[in-house]
Chains A and B, each alone.
Chain A
Amino acid sequence: METALSVLVGLFLATAFYLMLSKKIIRILLGVAVMGNGVNLLIFTSGRLTRELPPIIATDAYVLPPGAANALPQALILTAIVISFSFFAFLLVLAFRAYQDLGTDDTDAMRFAEPVVDDGPPQGY
């Protein structure tokens, strides 16, 4: 099972990097989102997949039942999902704003911070 999921993680990351090589911001953002999901899957896989028992402690017990799934990666993934979700929301708003204000979603054309036009270095002291 881990092997199959590892292949899936690889596919996710390959898709993500392919999308990120694009010039369009929206595709890059989709790539970032896919990459985040791939990484979450990676954490999930690295916690080892064992049984289908959910890691919930019964009311009268102090420990997990034997064979329960590893709860820690799930906690890590939950944190990571929350963070990547809010980042994705922020970056989408930013990209939309950039499209409105800069009039382009092509990273090659976004040269406001680093203008292409250069009058050359200063002359003379």
Chain B
Amino acid sequence: MNTIIFRTISPVLVALTLLFSVFVTLRGHNEPGGGFIGGLIAVSAFALYGLSHGVPTVRHAMRFHPMEIAGFGLFLAGASGMLSIVFGVPFLTGLWVFPTIFGVEVALSTPMFFDIGVYFVVTGSITSIALALEAREGGV
């Protein structure tokens, strides 16, 4: 798995895959997609990077430990459900705001932040497993 072609192409692929994972996550509210599948796509990017450049490089590039990312996602998902306590509606009720940013109406909602939380949970926990397996296999 250490050919020059693979090592040259993989950073490009990884960047594209990560971008695609964000796209899939954000379109997930009304169309196929969502945090879980987006997270899995992100994991495949990190796993690919791990195969081509080695697990330590990935860990360094991620800056945070995968489990910390998962913890952040869990917190984000939980907190976006808890936000409804302020508005006197039941737990996990969807709350929407439509601010206009740079002349474009942006739909911000608690379901979206919940989904982003799921994205981070999946990315963090599955990356952690994948990197552990790659490191154990003695991947380069």
Residues of A participating in the B interface, judged by any CB pair closer than 8 Å: 59, 78, 82, 86, 89-90, 93, 96
Contacts and interface: CB of A to CB of B under 8 A. Distances in A.
B125 A93 contact: no
Given A82-B36, A86-B125, A93 B30 contact: no
Contacts, number: 12
B132 A93 contact: yes
B31 to A, nearest CB: 9
Contacts of A96: 136
Interface of B: 30, 36, 125-126, 129, 132-133, 136
Nearest to B36: A82
12 contacts: A59-B30, A78-B36, A82-B36, A86-B125, A86-B126, A89-B126, A89-B129, A90-B129, A93-B129, A93-B132, A93-B133, A96-B136
A96 B136 CA distance: 10
Contacts of B30: 59
A83 to B, nearest CB: 12
Contacts of A86: 125-126
A94 to B, nearest CB: 11
A59 B125 CA distance: 34
Contacts of B133: 93
Contacts of A93: 129, 132-133
Contacts of A90: 129
A10 to B, nearest CB: 30
A82 B133 CA distance: 19
Given A59-B30, A86-B126, A90-B129, 9 more contacts: A78-B36, A82-B36, A86-B125, A89-B126, A89-B129, A93-B129, A93-B132, A93-B133, A96-B136
